[in-house]
Amino acid sequence: MTGRTGPADHQYAVSVEWTGNTGSGTASYRGYDRSQVARGDGKNDILGSSDPAFLGDPARWNPEELLVVSASQCHLLWYLHLAATARVVVTSYVDAAAGTLRMNSDGGGQFSEILLRPWVVVAEPSMVERAVRLHDDVDAMCFIARSLNFPIRCEPTVTAAQPVGTQ
């Protein structure tokens, strides 16, 4: 359930259920499946697992991918907001995001960065320069970026839409 707990607080409640008990639980490291399901009220389930390097199912989302998705989506949504308030008309936005997880010798690890590579199309050539600069303002607003302890870099490409009849 998503809701407010105070005048400026938001609460996000989800459930995650491990579905990978193959009969003997976690009796051995290789003896269980990493499958799990994330659920939220009124939303489609997210089928998850661990990264295939950690015996996960490559057909399911892993937590590391979902973290990169969250950072990319938050950047996108704040960027669109900033563009609208700056009167920059965005007509297309596609991001090819990637995250780097550094492993430690003890088997743990942490992200060292996320790189966003948004490809943005704006309505007019006069908007391109402003559209590029708006990406610099997103990290100050994005809830996800502000919550992480590693950098989120952005390498945007912004072009103007081709006028009709000139393609």
DSSP string, 36-90: EEEE-TTS--EEE---GGGT--TTSB-HHHHHHHHHHHHHHHHHHHHHHHTT--E
What is the extent of the structural domain holding 153?
A: 63-160
| Number of domains the chain is built from | 2
Does 37 lie in the same domain as 15? yes
Report the C-alpha gap between 34 and 49 in whole angstroms: 5
| Rounded (5°) CA angle 66-135-116 | 35
Q: Which amino acid is at 166?
A: T
Q: pTM of the predicted model, to two decimals?
A: 0.88
Same-domain pairing of 94 and 126 = yes
Q: What is the pLDDT of residues 103-114, one digit of tens each?
A: 999 999 999 999
The 10s digit of each residue's pLDDT in 106-149 is: 999 999 999 999 999 999 999 999 999 999 999 899 999 999 99
Same domain flag for 91 and 74? yes
On whether both 39 and 7 belong to a single domain, the answer is yes
Q: What is the pLDDT along the chain (167 residues), one digit of tens a residue?
A: 556 555 788 888 999 999 999 999 999 999 999 999 999 999 999 999 999 999 999 999 999 999 999 999 999 999 999 999 999 999 999 999 999 999 999 999 999 999 999 999 999 999 999 999 999 999 899 999 999 999 999 999 999 998 766 65
CATH number at residue 115: 3.30.300.20
Indicate if 42 and 79 belong to the same structural domain: no
**Rounded (10°) CA dihedral 81, 145, 97, 60:** -110
In this structure, the answer to whether residues 85 and 33 fall within a common structural domain is: no
Residue 17: how many CA atoms within 13 Å on its side-chain side? 5
Q: Which two tokens stand for residue 57?
A: 């199912």
Query: What is the pLDDT, as a whole number, of residue 163?
Result: 73
